[in-house]
Structure 1
Amino acid sequence: MADAVPIGGSPGWSVTITDLARFVPSTATVDGEPGNVAVVGLPANFLSSAKTETVQGTVLGRALSIRFTPVNYAFDYGDGESRDSAGPGTAWDANGQAQFTPTNTSHVYKQAGRYTVTVAVTYAADVDLGGGWIPIRGTLNGPPAGQEIRVVKAHTALVLGTCAERPSAPGC
């Protein structure tokens, strides 16, 4: 892993992680399952869309390819709790899990309300000057992505059937 990658064979011209900061991806999003709504006391699942991206850029007058690979996802659940994850999270159905089951990126809210969940993605970078990928020492943080989550209380009641089955039942 290189601290600085020489450009054009000249020792005075090199690329460092700070030279790549202006190219860091800003397209990541964060979403909550199910449907950006959570239930007090049950796990809500969170996912980031950030993935490996390759961009083209010019540094010190030289065109190069830059590959940004996510290495950490810092989830902030908006209620004072946070969690770092090596992965972006996975949808319940992709995991073969039922809704409201714990995942590596899930969170349980203690109170109803509206919360802004954010994810800040940390990226490692590699550059290609035309001869193959060279890893650059250090990491860069992408801008945080946010999503408002509505947390509700759930109440249960014994009923004789659904409102479609018994439209005159209490509460229908």
Structure 2
Amino acid sequence: MDSAWSPGEGAPRVPLERLCLEWTSLPDHCIRPDTDDPDRDPEQEDPADPGFPTVTITDLASFAPAPATLTGEPHNLGVAGLPTNFIVDADVHTRDGELFGYPITARFTPASFTFDYGDTTTATTTTPGTTWKNLHVPQFTPTDTSHVYAERGTYTTTAHTTYTAEIDLGTGWNPVPGTLTIPGPEQNIRIYEAHTALVAHTCNEDPTAPGCPTR
């Protein structure tokens, strides 16, 4: 088959593939190369709707997760000189909605956590922290998110969670460039001093010894 077509005598010859791409009334034998190419790889095609506007992380503000709560173990209390364990309750957040007139699903995944321990010390981790119980370790064991306070007092702590985002238009997940950081609420942590005393007798032997309950 001739690869070019001429509309009449003396008219310039135009490549058939150009006519197939530009004309709205196409001959039956016109086939767009991008839909009939036996060598095309569907995995390399953009699954997003080509008519959908470019999405930035700020466009997803209405889909964003709520601020994550920070907790210090044990019971938002601690002992000076010993680790206080911190946990953020952030998790993967998925929400359906509409953006630019299209129904979409947005998914936010925690990527990092920045802890402000309230004593001028900060730390950034990739874990939200885990309780001592879930780690199967005794209380006051150091963890990836624990912190040791040098002095007693009340400290105002916070944790900021940084998320990556993806959207789904019904054709699969597509990453959205950038990250979204959501500051968490403040949490007061009370740190006490621990005092010990050496005694010569047990409480049964000497009920008046330091640390023994009065009877």
> TM-score, normalization: structure 2?
0.70
Q: Which has the larger radius of gyration?
A: 2
Say if 1:56 and 1:66, in contact at 8 Å, map to a contact too: yes
Quick one: structure 1 residues 6 and 22, their matched pair in 2 at CA, closer, same or farther if it must change by over 3 Å?
A: farther
Match of 2:134 in 1: 94
Structure 2: unaligned runs, 5 residues or longer = 1-45
Which is strand-richer, 1 or 2?
Answer: 1
Match of 2:102 in 1: 62
Shift in Å, 1:93: 1.7
Residues 15-71 of structure 1: CA deviation (Å, up to 9, x unaligned)? 211101232111411101111101001111000000111012221111211110000
What letter is aligned with 1:95?
L
What letter is aligned with 1:17?
I
- Residue 25 in 1 paired to residue 57 in 2? no
C-alpha RMSD over aligned residues: 2.3
- Residue 130 in 1 paired to residue 170 in 2? yes
Say if 1:7 and 1:15, in contact at 8 Å, map to a contact too: no
What letter is aligned with 2:179?
T
Relative contact order: is structure 1 or structure 2 higher (C-alpha 8 Å, sep ≥ 6)?
1
Structure 1: unaligned runs, 5 residues or longer = none
**Equivalent-residue separation in structure 2 for 1:41 and 1:143 (angstroms):** 28
**Equivalent-residue separation in structure 2 for 1:148 and 1:161 (angstroms):** 37
Percent of aligned positions with the same letter in both sequences? 48
2:85 aligned to which of 45, 48, 57 = 45
Match of 1:115 in 2: 155
> TM-score, normalization: structure 1?
0.87
What letter is aligned with 1:142?
I
1:35 aligned to which of 64, 69, 75 = 75
Task: Find the residue that maps to 2:65 and give its secondary structure.
Answer: coil
Say if 2:96 and 2:106, in contact at 8 Å, map to a contact too: yes
**Equivalent-residue separation in structure 2 for 1:70 and 1:19 (angstroms):** 18
